[in-house]
Amino acid sequence: NDGLGPLYEVIGVAHARLGNLEEAERCFHSSLKVLRRLHPDRDHAGSLRGLGSIAAIQGNHEIALRWYDQTLENVDAKADPGTVADIKALRALVLRDAGQFDSALAELRECLKFWKAQSHPRWVATTLRQIASVQICSGDLNSAQQNLRLAIQKYHEVGDVAGIQGCESMILEELAYIESAEGKAEDYF
């Protein structure tokens, strides 16, 4: 059944957002197994991305990067440049978590340039929030505050209440929010 693989993936995301990481990981592996059986000639970005995000939340930086790199290897960059930008941003957040702030910012600035060129306000906002998270972690709080305010404006443009709330939480709680379970789920899912 073609619908079973994507269903496992969606359930995995829901479990991850609820903090049920073991169950989420099982769902992503199940999704990958079903999809590989149905379509052995290609891999499946959503399931691979999910496994990378689980590893990232758990602090397994090397494993997360491997899953994300495998995702990038299986995405047609010309056909789906948005997915490529998304995965590169997630890789940058892993670099942030590993203390590699300059590399993370460089990657995220490239992603921001891409989303601005696409005139996509929601993804511009998300990338500004991601940049702000790196700036908070590196101690550049003034720049982080500016980027969070810009992100809130962009989220307002598209009516993304959850995005606005995430930015407001980051403004108030700074590093504590980024390191919280809620902040990690927001970052990686």
Residues 84-100 pLDDT 10s: 999 999 999 999 999 99
Q: What pLDDT sits at residue 91?
A: 98
User: For residue 126, how many other CB atoms are within 10 A of its CB?
Assistant: 25
- Closest by Cα among 44, 3, 12, 43 to 189: 12
Query: Which of the 8 DSSP states describes residue 160?
Result: -
Q: What pLDDT sits at residue 38?
A: 87
For residue 61, what are its two tokens?
Answer: 């930086």
Query: Which of the 8 DSSP states describes residue 75?
Result: S
Residues 114-132 pLDDT 10s: 999 999 999 999 999 999 9
Alpha-carbon distances, residue 15 vs 9, 20, 24, 31, 158 (angstroms): 10, 5, 5, 14, 26
**Residue showing tokens 């590989």:** 36
Q: What pLDDT sits at residue 43?
A: 66
Burial tier of 58 (Cβ tally within 10 Å: 0-12, 13-18, 19+)? middle
Dmax (CA) for the chain in angstroms is 51
pTM for the predicted model, two decimal places: 0.93
pLDDT at residue 109 is higher than 80: yes
CA distance 83 to 154: 20
